[in-house]
Amino acid sequence: MADDDWEVPSALQPDPADYSFDLKAKLDAVVALKALVPPDAFSASSLGTEREGNAVLIDAKGLFLTIGYLVMESETIWLTANNGRVVQGHCLALDTETGFALVQSLGRIDGLVPLEFGDSSTLKANDAIILGASGGPSRAVAGHVASRQPFAGYWEYLLEDAIFTSPAHPHWGGTACLNMDGRLVGIGSLILQQGERGGRRLDLNMVVPIQELTPILPALLRQGHSEAPPRPWLGMLAVEEEEGVSVGSVTKGAPAERAGVRAKDRILAVGQENVSDLPGLWRAIRALGNAGVPVPLRIERNDRVMTLTPQSADRRVFLKQPRLH
């Protein structure tokens, strides 16, 4: 992204005069990130082998925060600052539950000031924010919080208090979400489309709040992952439809496939808990226990109802671990 000519439309860019802090200095802490992933990586087929986004400097020793899917199973990481300085990085930690990842710079990038953490728990609808990508103010969006609510991803991901922002940033992955004090309150993860009255489409960014990071940061720095027991994982992509929740696909070799779950199966219940939406599905699975617990799924397939019971696993076991070259 560092070599691209794109800019955010001028009407959406933040005006440095509107802020009490040095906007350029804050946004210089956001660098371009490029990760290379081996073709045989577990996530290569779904996320690709070349991934680009952003990373945010959070301490003076070269520690960067980004969104996990950019660096998951990465073999090589490059960080490019706004001044053109390029250094290699190493994925120090990955937390699949929050979606955060930490990247350690393996070289010095002088002149960058780490962003301080703000209190993301106080952000509410209509609060002003800035979403910044690498490249400075011309690649930032002055926006607001559209809502705070749960977000469920089809890849067995659940965030109970996500931040949704508008207007959407066109290069959202790993962007820095700043509050009006210039502090970091979240990291951009996704772009979502929401319908409005009159048939118009509203694009939103989903931002992972920094409040999800602070309790687990010491463990991530110490051992590369959270101290919390791993959640049960099935390797099952699920989608919401008008009639309920269905299986979009199953990952080869994962617990769901081994138990006989198939694409287009409709999920009726987890154990005794009926499910009708993605948040309900993931909550019901998590309520059964930690990774390794059996997960009884009552499904409907071609008008036939049956129960299949995958033996859940720890998602991390299936991922290639980063190597320091």
Residues 84-99 pLDDT 10s: 999 999 999 999 999 9
Query: Which range has the worst mean pLDDT, 170-184, 279-293, 310-324?
Result: 310-324
Does residue 322 carry a pLDDT above 70?
Answer: no
Query: What is the structure's pLDDT at 4?
Result: 64
CA distance 31 to 23: 15
Query: What is the structure's pLDDT at 206?
Result: 98
DSSP three-state, residue 110: coil
- Summarised one tens digit per residue, pLDDT across range 246-299 is 999 999 999 999 999 999 999 999 999 999 999 999 999 999 999 999 999 999
Interval 121-136 mean pLDDT: 97
199 vs 219, higher pLDDT? 219
Angle at 190 between CA 257 and CA 193, to 5 degrees: 100
The closest of 213, 216, 133 to 175, measured between CA atoms, is: 133
Interval 2-15 mean pLDDT: 82
CA distance 67 to 185: 14
Query: What is the structure's pLDDT at 1?
Result: 38
Does residue 202 carry a pLDDT above 90?
Answer: no
CA distance 95 to 100: 6
Does residue 130 carry a pLDDT above 80?
Answer: yes
The single-letter DSSP state of residue 117 is B
| Those residues with Cβ within 8 angstroms of residue 123's Cβ, 6 or more apart along the chain or in another chain | 129, 145, 148, 163, 179, 185, 209
Does residue 2 carry a pLDDT above 60?
Answer: no
> Taking the CA of residue 32 as centre, how many other CA atoms within 13 Å lie in the half-sphere pointing to its CB?
19
45 vs 213, higher pLDDT? 213
Interval 197-220 mean pLDDT: 90
β-strand 100-105 against 128-132: which pairing, if any? unpaired
- The answer to whether residues 89 and 106 touch, using CB atoms and an 8 Å cutoff, is yes
DSSP three-state, residue 249: strand
Does residue 218 carry a pLDDT above 60?
Answer: yes
The single-letter DSSP state of residue 49 is S
β-strand 50-59 against 63-67: which pairing, if any? antiparallel
Interval 165-181 mean pLDDT: 97
- What mean pLDDT value characterizes the chain? 94
End-to-end CA distance of the chain: 24
The distance from CA 84 to its chain's CA centroid, rounded to whole angstroms, is: 26
Structural domains for the chain: 10-113+218-223 (2.40.10.10), 120-210 (2.40.10.10), 236-318 (2.30.42.10)
User: Six-digit token pair at 139?
Assistant: 């690649």
- Summarised one tens digit per residue, pLDDT across range 140-172 is 999 999 999 999 999 999 999 999 999 999 999
